[in-house]
Chains A and B, each alone.
Chain A
Amino acid sequence: MWGSVAVVALVVIATLIDKGSIGLQLILSGLTVGSIYALVAMGFSIIYSSTRVINFAQGGFSMLGGMLMYSLAVSGKLPMWLAFILAVLIVTALGAGFERVVIRPMKDHSVITVIIVTIGLSIFMTAVAKWTWGTDPVKIASFSGDKPLRLFGASLVPQSLWVFGLTLVAVALVFLFFNRTLLGKGMRAAADNPDAASLVGVSSSTSSLVAWTLAAGLGAAAGVVIAPINFAQYSAGTALGLKGFSAAVLGGLGSAPGAVVGGLVLGVLETITAGYLPSGYKDAVAFVILILVLLVRPQGLLGRPEEVKV
């Protein structure tokens, strides 16, 4: 764990020394995408810890958030804040509805079956989005202008601040929920030992519903806030989901702090390597790092080793 922190710190410092303000620029934009990865990764982690399911539709929630934001704010001409809240609420409701209608009835089936269902949902969402919004990427205005801020010679688009802010708020809320509320603490207990938790009255049905609701909300928020930087497009979910999943595994599946760390590390390393290598290899480097980390720490950076059962 500390070894990897040291490695990341070394890479960051080396980049700063080598490239100066351009290095800082790379790190800042790395943190921006990293925050988005972190939000998506938290969604993966939350669903995983309460149901053991890898939700392949997680990226789809983000895509849907971005596209709805476009419809509400650009086509519907609603004020930004209202469009934001509505977009997140709609996707959250969809996530909760999907859990009730499809996931809940399948609670007794094997995990891989449910995973295939989420793949089906992801295909379905992408197709519906393509049907509704077409194939062209759409532009959504930044929340507060496009005039870049200067910071030690590096420039930062204001939208990045929104990304950081939203991530901070979301992470804080998730942590408060899991550490301060009865429901959240119950869900952590259930993730630890489902049978014991259900004996003391933690409902696995409620856990699963809350997990899907939270994950959909987090995914949607990430999709909305990144849309002004990345454009929104029907196909955006795949890449985001892939990176979010990678970040969640890198940090340790099922660990919410791990998801945040994994997301930021992945984002920063990815943009830094992009500064040094031909851009085509950018993603390859991210995956090489990921595989290397897993080989050294098979349970991810902050994850706990899985118990071995006979």
Chain B
Amino acid sequence: MDKELARPLDTDKRDYRTLMVVGAFILLIPLWAKFIPGDVLHMDIVNLMVLTGVYACAVVGLNLLVGYAGQISLGHAAFFGIGAYTTAILCTHMHWFPTWLGVIAGAVLAGAVGWLVGKPVLRLKGNYLAMATLGLGEIAFILFQQVKGLTGGTVGILDIPPLSIFGLKFDTDLKFFFLIWVVILVLLLVSINLIKSRVGRGLRALHSSEVAADAMGVATGRYKAQVFVLSAAFAGLGGAMFAHFQKYINPESFTLALSILFITMVVVGGMGNIWGGLVGVVILTFLPSVIQALPQWIPGLPHGLSNFSNYELVLYGALLILFMMFMPKGVAFGLSRAADYTEVRARHFRDRQKARKMEGR
């Protein structure tokens, strides 16, 4: 058994396997969601999954920055917002503008802004970096509100056209669902490959000790900047998709609360674990709907609860505290421990089978 454990687990391939399984599972959701009548679930799963996907764009990128490079950002709502406003402005001011190009422009512009502010800001460390990014987020929010000529002020931008790619219009939840989740799976693939590359190893070195990484010849400054730009672009992509999905945007969608939500999703899911971000997004996007549906699922007791306008948030806050108290390393960490365990058991089982066969011969 000791020898069994000593043999390294094949986590390298496992990530790709997991990606395929997760991808297949998610893409099949609409199929089985159809068979469950709406009055059992009390939530629109496909719609929620689209929102999950939109946030996941930002969170997967943020997880690379926070979990792998160890740099905190409390301003990613700004990049999400830049992506959203870019495509919204382009596609509503110029009606001929192709929407898919608008989405790409949103991601590129968010990345460019990330590059511009990342250079100076990433010299700061820890909480000072958190504060500076928070400040950038607030500045972006104020600009969204005040540059009325472009952004429409507090009213925002209405009638954003649906996303269409080469004549294929993504104008229903279901179509958008497939689009966004294919995009996420691609982003996840990019992330997995990135972590396994030289850059990824450099980032992890940087995370555990910047000075040591520097001394070993890791270009820490450049790596930090690159991951920051990448995460900004991912967030911008998510924001642009969000704008086309929701069809209207206003500054209220891109507040500090969203930046904090992103970070919370990363931590609840599990920092430094590719799947962590995804798990966190799913949990925290579904949680409010689940809490809202509780009175319907459990008849009798809590029906009066829904009369209190705010019990959802009370529960949400309490659950967040409990999650972190009992799963401080994130939900995905627990899941991956379970995967390690099953893999060891499975290997053990296979080897025993083999041994038995040989004995039989």
Contact = CB atoms under 8 A, between A and B. Distances in A.
Do A and B actually bind? Answer: yes
Contact of B131 (A110, A116, A294, A310): A294
Contact of A249 (B127, B146, B309, B325): B127
Contacts of A238: 256
Nearest to A57: B317
Interface string B111-138: 0000000001101111110111011101
B317 A298 contact: no
A285 B311 CA distance: 37
Contact of B320 (A123, A242, A294, A309): A123
B111 to A, nearest CB: 20
Given A246-B135, A280-B142, A117 B313 contact: no
B211 A309 contact: yes
Contact of A120 (B210, B271, B321): B321
Contact of A123 (B66, B211, B313, B323): B313
Interface stretch (B21-29, B52-60, B86-94, B260-268): B260-268
Contacts of A290: 131-132, 135
A121 B318 CA distance: 7
Contact of B211 (A249, A291, A310): A310
A146 interface: no
Contacts of A278: 146
Given A126-B313, A246-B135, A295-B120, A120 B127 contact: no
A227 B215 CA distance: 53
Kindly name the residue among B145, B267, B329 whose own CB sees the greatest number of chain A CB atoms within 10 A: B267
B174 interface: no
Given A109-B328, A127-B310, A291-B132, A121 B321 contact: yes
Contact of B126 (A102, A124, A284, A306): A306
Kindly name the residue among A281, A288, A290, A291 whose own CB sees the greatest number of chain B CB atoms within 10 A: A291
B209 interface: yes
A123 B317 contact: yes
Interface residues of A, number: 49
A131 interface: yes
B264 A119 contact: yes
A122 interface: yes
A131 B125 contact: no
A112 B271 CA distance: 10
B316 interface: yes
A120 B308 CA distance: 20
B128 A127 contact: no
Contact of B128 (A122, A288, A294): A294
A290 B124 CA distance: 13
A201 interface: no
Interface in A272-302: 278, 280-281, 283-284, 287-288, 290-291, 294-295, 298-300
B146 A245 contact: no
Interface in A175-212: none
A265 interface: no
Contact of B139 (A121, A123, A249, A287): A287
Contacts of B317: 120-127
A105 interface: yes
A130 interface: yes
Interface in B120-171: 120-121, 123-128, 130-132, 134-136, 138-139, 142-143, 145-146
Given A117-B320, A249-B127, A127 B132 contact: no
Given A245-B131, A291-B121, A298-B123, A283 B318 contact: no
A308 B324 contact: no
A298 B124 contact: yes
B218 interface: no
Contacts of A306: 125-126
Interface in B279-336: 308-314, 316-321, 323-325, 328-329
Contacts of B308: 131
B138 to A, nearest CB: 5
Nearest to B255: A238
Contacts of B126: 306
B72 interface: yes
A264 B146 CA distance: 27
A128 interface: yes
Kindly name the residue among A114, A120, A124 whose own CB sees the greatest number of chain B CB atoms within 10 A: A120
Contact of A113 (B123, B125, B146, B328): B328
A283 B138 contact: yes
19 contacts: A56-B260, A105-B325, A112-B267, A113-B324, A113-B328, A117-B321, A120-B317, A120-B321, A120-B323, A123-B316, A124-B321, A127-B311, A249-B128, A280-B146, A281-B142, A283-B138, A283-B142, A295-B123, A309-B211
Given A130-B309, A280-B145, 7 more contacts: A116-B263, A116-B324, A119-B264, A123-B313, A242-B138, A284-B143, A309-B211
